[in-house]
């Protein structure tokens, strides 16, 4: 049963009851359920009194990085990078505002009632090397978890799979077009994907022909429903098998295909509390179903003369093209003989990938120094030299804190790590609360990726001869998917800065193109210029920008979802001043000093960028709080007002409230 998995079904798309039922069932069986990309409520990470565990063994990491915090990652047995989705390859996803209930927003790090967009690409993956870096990041974030890369069946997937195997993935999943919930567009399901059989056989054969098959486990998914499907998948080269549609049906789905409407009549694909009461699924039903599948697999294996699953993998010689295919008007034109080609060599996974974690700065120097202090929650400060081949520094230490102290981490500045030099990629990725990392020098790409509560400082050396405020000090894609924490960057950062930030407060002195894309929360303060396409897809959070020229800045923004404002609220002004004062304190920034010295004039030069829908929701929540409701109740009422198109705060009232 350890080879059986459920396909990715994200919390937010399906109800918590359905999500938990699948996790419990697969944990009872020793299989694995897949969290999907919506994050997971941490209350599920502890074992229930009856011994059940509601945590999904596979935690997914998709382009939206929703809920992908350090604590989420350390609670996985497998970390899956979703490169694409079988039912809609090349497309992103969207959770409509009306499904973003307060509890979904909490887990995803966003605002209730505001659309959530999963962009088509991962913003930190533009090449196979970038993917290899993310695989390495995740391996550092959880040394005990396997890292899977999910690909879709398409022509050429074999070449991609070979690259992924060389990039050190432990598992490659090839997914067909035919799974998925009714939330995927029908045109995509019908016309974009391919059957898993085509992708799987190509991936398996290409890996074998390149001597890479023994380095990875191959998995497939895409409407496997019977024991016969599993046997067919094994014969075409798969060692592990994902099921999505069938387990959903087992827990109650009646295939109404209205998953995206929040009206699922059986409480499976809805967040509506009334409809969720109609959920009658039982984990035992899924357990039974999987046992029947296993039994059918065993029977077919006996007929074919196989004693173990491993023996069966890649044995296409026992398959033949059915006579029916020859007589079918359309199928008769197909030549499927290439699917049955059997290269020479190892057909299954045999050797573990070498992730080279033992060579990291964390394992060699940092962890031995701070391990004792972390265990006892004691303060410690240590200094190290760093060079640009030291990648993912701090992440292993952070994972140890998350394992011991959960999502809340340690008190601020408990573990202070100072570095001098040029930090390699992913400096401070996923570090949790209680960790502070400062590099005096510069940093490469992906600084603070997935920042999970920690504090990061990148500052220029005192003796530098260049003007730090007008030079690049941090690479591309910094703070992608940051969920909380703070950071101070003493200079410019590259492209795609703070994409999908959902809660961190970050100060920087200028950014390249595509800054703050798809951001859903947090504050970004930019004491300088931005590149083009700033704030595209930004649906939450606030950016404060002090450009050289305000009109040029506005032209560089993507204004589809945002609006510009002056900052007039006194509380907000003080909060912003404090963030900039912190920047000066940590970096000695000249730009921060000048801004603070002439504060009354400088505040006039700062443009506030805020998404329009987000602003409306925040004001609607404030409106209910002013009526005497608790924050939780106000969030719920505001969400329901949005859902039922009964927002009580008009634009004029908003202006009044803001004043
Ligand atoms: S019953 Fe319909 S809406 Fe509910 S999960 Fe199944 S297909 Fe989706």
Distance 105 CA to ligand 1 centre (A): 22
First to last CA, the chain: 61
Check residue 322 and give its pLDDT: 84
Over residues 257-280, the pLDDT tens digits come to 888 888 899 999 888 889 999 999
- pLDDT over 90 at 12, yes or no: no
Collapse the DSSP code of 602 into the 3-class scheme (helix H, G, I; strand E, B; otherwise coil) and give the result: helix
Residue from 256, 267, 272, 281 whose mutation best tests the ligand 1 pocket (most atoms within 8 A of CB): 256
Check residue 596 and give its pLDDT: 97
Check residue 96 and give its pLDDT: 81
Check residue 182 and give its pLDDT: 53
- pLDDT over 80 at 183, yes or no: no
Q: Which residues line ligand 1 (CB under 6 A)?
A: 181-182, 248, 253-259, 264, 266, 268-269
Residue from 259, 270, 271, 272 whose mutation best tests the ligand 1 pocket (most atoms within 8 A of CB): 259
Residue from 255, 262, 275 whose mutation best tests the ligand 1 pocket (most atoms within 8 A of CB): 255
Distance 246 CA to ligand 1 centre (A): 12
Question: Which atom of ligand 1 approaches the CA of 252 most closely?
Answer: 1
Question: What stretch of H or E contains 579?
Answer: helix 570-587
The dihedral region occupied by 558, where left means phi > 0, alpha psi between -120 and 50, and beta the remainder, is beta
Collapse the DSSP code of 349 into the 3-class scheme (helix H, G, I; strand E, B; otherwise coil) and give the result: coil
- pLDDT over 90 at 111, yes or no: no
CA-CA-CA-CA torsion sign (15, 20, 23, 25): negative
Give the chain's mean pLDDT: 92
Of 484, 473, 469, 409, nearest to 447 by C-alpha is 473
What percentage of residues in the chain have a pLDDT greater than 70?
96
Taking residues 330-339, report their average pLDDT.
Answer: 87
**Residue of the CA atom closest to atom 8 of ligand 1:** 259
Q: How many helices (H) and strands (E) does the chain have?
A: 23, 22
Range of weakest confidence among 9-13, 137-141, 217-221, 609-613: 9-13
Residue 333 banded pLDDT, cuts 50, 70, 90: confident
Check residue 517 and give its pLDDT: 95
Check residue 186 and give its pLDDT: 67
Question: Which atom of ligand 1 approaches the CA of 269 most closely?
Answer: 5
Distance 271 CA to ligand 1 centre (A): 12
pTM: predicted TM-score of the whole model, two decimal places:
0.93
Check residue 118 and give its pLDDT: 79
Question: Which atom of ligand 1 approaches the CA of 255 most closely?
Answer: 7
- pLDDT over 80 at 338, yes or no: yes
Question: Which atom of ligand 1 approaches the CA of 261 most closely?
Answer: 3
Check residue 97 and give its pLDDT: 85
Check residue 347 and give its pLDDT: 95
Question: What stretch of H or E contains 297?
Answer: helix 283-304
Question: Which atom of ligand 1 approaches the CA of 267 most closely?
Answer: 4
Distance 195 CA to ligand 1 centre (A): 22
Residue 653 banded pLDDT, cuts 50, 70, 90: very low
Check residue 454 and give its pLDDT: 98
Question: Which atom of ligand 1 approaches the CA of 249 most closely?
Answer: 6
Q: Let me know the angle formed at the C-alpha of 635 by 629 and 636, rounded to the nearest 5 degrees.
A: 95
Residue 92 banded pLDDT, cuts 50, 70, 90: confident
Domains and CATH numbers, the chain: 4-340 (3.20.20.70), 379-611 (2.160.20.60), 618-658 (no CATH)
Distance 248 CA to ligand 1 centre (A): 8
Check residue 385 and give its pLDDT: 98
**Residue of the CA atom closest to atom 2 of ligand 1:** 256
Residue 656 banded pLDDT, cuts 50, 70, 90: very low
| CA distances in angstroms from 408 to 44, 403, 411, 432, listed in the order given | 15, 11, 8, 8
**Residue of the CA atom closest to atom 4 of ligand 1:** 264
């Amino acid at each position: 049963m350890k080879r059986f998995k459920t396909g990715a079904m994200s919390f937010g798309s399906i109800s918590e009851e359905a999500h938990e039922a699948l996790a419990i069932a697969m944990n009872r069986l020793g299989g694995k359920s897949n969290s999907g990309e919506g994050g997971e409520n941490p209350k599920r990470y502890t074992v229930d009194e009856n011994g059940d565990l509601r945590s999904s063994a596979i935690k997914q990491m998709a382009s939206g990085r929703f809920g992908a915090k350090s604590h989420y990652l350390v609670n996985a047995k497998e970390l899956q990078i979703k490169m694409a989705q079988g039912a809609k390859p090349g497309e992103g996803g969207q959770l409509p505002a009306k499904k973003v209930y307060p509890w979904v927003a909490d887990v995803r790090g966003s605002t209730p009632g505001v659309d959530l967009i999963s962009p088509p690409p991962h913003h930190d993956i533009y090449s196979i090397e970038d993917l290899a870096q993310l695989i390495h990041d995740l391996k550092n974030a959880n040394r005990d978890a396997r890292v899977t890369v999910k690909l879709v069946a398409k022509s050429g997937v074999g070449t991609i799979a070979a690259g992924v195997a060389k990039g050190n993935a432990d598992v490659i999943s090839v997914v067909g077009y035919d799974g998925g919930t009714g939330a995927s567009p029908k045109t995509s399901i019908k016309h974009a994907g391919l059957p898993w059989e085509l992708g799987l056989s190509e991936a398996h054969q290409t890996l074998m022909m390149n001597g890479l098959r023994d380095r990875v486990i191959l998995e497939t998914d895409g409407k496997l429903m019977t024991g016969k499907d599993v046997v067919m998948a094994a014969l075409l080269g798969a060692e592990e098998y994902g099921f999505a549609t069938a387990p959903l049906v087992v827990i109650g789905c009646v295939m109404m295909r209205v998953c995206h409407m929040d009206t699922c009549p059986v409480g499976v694909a809805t967040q509506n509390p009334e409809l969720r009461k109609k959920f009658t699924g039982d984990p035992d039903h899924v357990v039974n179903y999987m046992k029947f599948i296993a039994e059918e697999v065993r029977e077919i294996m006996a007929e074919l003369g196989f004693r173990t699953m491993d023996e069966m993998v890649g044995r296409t010689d026992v398959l033949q093209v059915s006579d029916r295919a020859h007589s079918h008007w359309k199928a008769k034109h197909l030549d499927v003989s290439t699917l049955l080609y059997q290269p020479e060599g190892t057909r299954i996974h045999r050797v573990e990938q070498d992730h080279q974690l033992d060579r990291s700065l964390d394992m060699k120097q940092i962890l031995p120094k701070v391990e004792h202090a972390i265990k006892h929650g004691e303060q410690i400060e240590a200094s190290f030299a760093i060079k640009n081949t030291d990648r993912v520094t701090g992440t292993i230490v952070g994972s140890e804190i998350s394992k011991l102290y959960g999502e809340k981490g340690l008190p601020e500045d408990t573990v202070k790590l100072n570095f001098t030099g040029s930090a390699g990629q992913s400096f401070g990725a996923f570090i949790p609360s209680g960790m502070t990392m400062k590099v005096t020098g510069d940093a490469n790409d992906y600084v603070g990726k997935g920042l999970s509560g920690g504090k990061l400082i990148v500052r220029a050396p005192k003796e530098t001869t260049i003007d730090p405020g007008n030079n690049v000090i941090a690479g591309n894609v910094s703070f992608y998917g940051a969920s909380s924490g703070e950071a101070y960057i003493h200079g410019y950062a590259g492209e795609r800065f703070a994409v999908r930030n959902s809660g961190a407060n970050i100060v920087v002195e200028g950014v390249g193109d595509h800054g703050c894309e798809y951001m859903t929360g947090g504050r970004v303060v930019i004491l300088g210029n931005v590149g083009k396409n700033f704030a595209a897809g930004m649906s939450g959070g606030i950016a404060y920008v002090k450009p050289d020229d305000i009109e040029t800045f506005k032209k560089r923004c993507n204004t589809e979802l945002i609006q510009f404002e002056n900052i007039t609220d006194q509380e907000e002004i003080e909060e912003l001043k404090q963030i900039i004062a912190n920047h000066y304190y940590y970096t000695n920034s000249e730009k921060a000093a000048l801004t603070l010295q002439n504060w009354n004039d400088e505040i006039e030069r700062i443009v506030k960028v805020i998404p329009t829908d987000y602003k409306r929701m925040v004001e609607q929540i404030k409106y209910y709080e002013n009526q005497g409701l608790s924050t939780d109740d106000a969030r719920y009422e505001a969400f329901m007002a949005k859902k039922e198109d009964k927002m009580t705060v008009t634009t004029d009232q908003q202006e009044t409230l803001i004043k």
